[in-house]
């Protein structure tokens, strides 16, 4: 049997850090409110002109270096993003050229905050089928470009960043199971109302903004993630006690704590970066993974449960041996 194994991780964050205290000067909010509701303390924000592709390329270079893989050896690049540099070519194509991996397949996946885990699930199938041997999977966003900085309900929640992994075909596990789900019936709770086909509006930021019913999103996220982790354990034939680390999407500390509770896992076994990065959408899971690997928390041979939930709604998971 062929497995897809993570052989290298990398990440990238913009230099500029904006704290909750900085946001207190822009909107009527408080560090106390933001921390107690979300766990967020600060976030990185892309500089003017700094794009999703820039962050993705940087993260990818670090992952390739960690894996000891040359860009020219890649046979696929899958990039999860909901904030591509331009409409086309895909950001995956832009990154491919910058890395010097020209010729391999490259495409973007838009599954909002579940983008990276979706991309990982797709890449896993390419490797298991024998189609690909070395795949670069990236989650990258400049989500703050969608933000209305006058709107306190959303502007405190998001940040920019990217993470990447190199997946290689291996006889050793590897990814045991990935699950991908969506329900477009929840579009109204979390969406950006404009775009190419619908058209842009004569409004600030061309109408590009995040419309979110926070409380409803919160409720559905907790419930959906509860059943997702159960389903993932079942698909991999594992018990919760066999999981060494939970690496969740970093949207809100209270959602993360609820998932850990469902798994009966102490928070010491959960990778939490939301306080530093806020919600970086597709960037969040690979950023947290790279942080956990480089800080020495996640070690070879350990079992990791990755999960995400986002606009669509979409939700996805991966259970793997690192
Ligand atoms: N500062 C101070 N007060 C605020 C702020 C703020 N930044 N934002 C909202 N408030 C106020 C509200 O106006 C409301 O006031 P009211 O009671 O007088 O009406 C009060 O705080 C409570 O608001 P709620 O929305 O009930 O607060 P809640 O506890 O639900 O927390 C939050 C809001 C943090 C958004 C939470 O619901 C949440 O995290 N939801 C999930 C969001 C999420 O995970 N999104 C992920 C997907 S993102 C993606 O896919 C792109």
Query: pLDDT tens, 191-210?
Result: 999 999 999 999 999 999 99
The pLDDT score that the predictor gives to residue 187 is 98
Identify whether 310 is preceded by a cis peptide bond (ω within 30 of 0): no
DSSP for 223-286?
A: HHHHHHHHHHHHHHT--GGG--EEEE--S-HHHHHHHHHHTT--GGGB---HHHH-B-GGGHHH
Q: Report the chain's mean pLDDT, rounded to a whole number.
A: 98
**Do 274 and 283 meet the contact criterion of CB atoms below 8 Å apart?**
no
Describe the crossing of helices 91-99 and 52-67 by its angle, rounded to 10 degrees: 50
For residue 263, what pLDDT band results from cuts at 50, 70 and 90?
very high
Q: Ligand 1: distance of its center to the CA of 58 in Å? A: 32
Q: Is 97 a residue of the active site?
A: no
The pLDDT score that the predictor gives to residue 137 is 99
For residue 163, what pLDDT band results from cuts at 50, 70 and 90?
very high
The pLDDT score that the predictor gives to residue 37 is 97
CATH superfamily of 176-321: Thiolase/Chalcone synthase (3.40.47.10)
Assess whether the C-beta atom of 218 lies below 6 angstroms from ligand 1.
yes
Q: Ligand 1: distance of its center to the CA of 89 in Å? A: 35
Give span(s): CATH 3.40.47.10, the chain.
Answer: 3-172, 176-321
The pLDDT score that the predictor gives to residue 173 is 95
Which pTM was predicted?
Answer: 0.97
The pLDDT score that the predictor gives to residue 270 is 98
For residue 229, what pLDDT band results from cuts at 50, 70 and 90?
very high
Integer Cα distance of 8 and 185 in angstroms: 37
The pLDDT score that the predictor gives to residue 146 is 97
Mean pLDDT over 13-22 rounds to 98
Integer Cα distance of 154 and 143 in angstroms: 11
The pLDDT score that the predictor gives to residue 236 is 97
Assess whether the C-beta atom of 176 lies below 6 angstroms from ligand 1.
no
Mean pLDDT over 148-154 rounds to 95
Mean pLDDT over 11-32 rounds to 98
pLDDT digits (tens, 9 = 90+) for 283-314: 999 999 999 999 999 999 999 999 999 999 99
pLDDT digits (tens, 9 = 90+) for 108-139: 999 999 999 999 999 999 999 999 999 999 99
Domain 3-172, architecture per CATH:
3-Layer(aba) Sandwich (3.40)
The pLDDT score that the predictor gives to residue 69 is 98
* Residues sharing a CB contact under 8 Å with residue 207, sequence separation 6 or more, in sequence order: 193, 194, 200, 201
Give the phi and the psi of residue 94 in degrees, each rounded to 5.
-65, -45
pLDDT digits (tens, 9 = 90+) for 58-106: 999 999 999 999 999 999 999 999 999 999 999 999 999 999 999 999 9
Assess whether the C-beta atom of 162 lies below 6 angstroms from ligand 1.
no
Which is the catalytic residue, given 20, 249, 252, 277? 249
Integer Cα distance of 153 and 201 in angstroms: 21
Question: Residue whose CA is closest, atom 47 of ligand 1?
Answer: 310
Describe the crossing of helices 31-38 and 253-262 by its angle, rounded to 10 degrees: 20
* Residues sharing a CB contact under 8 Å with residue 128, sequence separation 6 or more, in sequence order: 2, 3, 4
Question: Residue whose CA is closest, atom 39 of ligand 1?
Answer: 252
DSSP for 64-119?
A: HHHHT--GGG-SEEEEE-SS-SSSSS-HHHHHHHHHT-TTSEEEEE--GGGHHHHH
Question: 215, 221, 285: which to mutate for ligand 1, most atoms within 8 A of CB?
Answer: 215
Which is the catalytic residue, given 113, 181, 252, 277? 113
The pLDDT score that the predictor gives to residue 169 is 98
Integer Cα distance of 181 and 55 in angstroms: 27
For residue 238, what pLDDT band results from cuts at 50, 70 and 90?
very high
**Do 319 and 235 meet the contact criterion of CB atoms below 8 Å apart?**
yes
């Amino acid at each position: 049997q062929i497995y897809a194994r993570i052989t290298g991780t990398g990440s990238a964050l913009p230099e500029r850090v904006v704290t909750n205290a900085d946001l207190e000067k822009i909107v009527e909010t408080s560090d106390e409110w933001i921390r107690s509701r979300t766990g967020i303390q600060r976030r990185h924000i892309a500089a003017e002109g700094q794009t999703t592709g820039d962050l993705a390329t940087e993260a990818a270079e670090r992952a390739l270096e960690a894996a000891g893989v040359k860009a020219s050896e890649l046979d696929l690049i899958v990039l999860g993003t909901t904030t591509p540099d331009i409409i086309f070519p895909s950001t995956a194509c832009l990154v491919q050229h910058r890395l010097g991996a020209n010729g391999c397949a490259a495409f973007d996946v838009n599954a909002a905050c579940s983008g990276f885990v979706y991309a990982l699930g797709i890449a896993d199938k390419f490797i298991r089928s024998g189609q690909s041997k070395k795949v670069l999977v990236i989650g990258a966003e400049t989500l703050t470009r969608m933000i209305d900085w006058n709107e306190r309900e959303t502007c405190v929640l998001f940040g920019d960043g990217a993470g990447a992994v190199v997946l290689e075909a291996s006889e050793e596990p590897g990814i045991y199971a990935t699950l991908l789900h969506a329900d477009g019936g929840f579009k109204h709770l979390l969406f950006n109302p404009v775009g190419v086909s619908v058209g842009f509006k004569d409004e600030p930021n061309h109408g590009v903004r995040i419309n979110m019913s926070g409380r409803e999103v919160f409720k559905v996220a907790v419930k959906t993630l509860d059943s997702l982790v159960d389903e993932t354990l079942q698909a991999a034939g594992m018990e919760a006690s066999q999981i060494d680390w939970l690496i969740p999407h970093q949207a809100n500390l209270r959602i993360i704590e609820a998932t850990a509770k469902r798994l009966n896992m102490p928070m010491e076994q959960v990778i939490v970066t939301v306080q530093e990065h806020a919600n970086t959408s597709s960037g969040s899971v690979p950023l947290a993974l790279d942080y956990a690997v480089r800080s020495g928390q996640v070690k070879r041979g350990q079992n990791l449960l990755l999960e995400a939930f986002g606009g669509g709604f979409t939700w996805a998971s991966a259970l793997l041996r690192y």
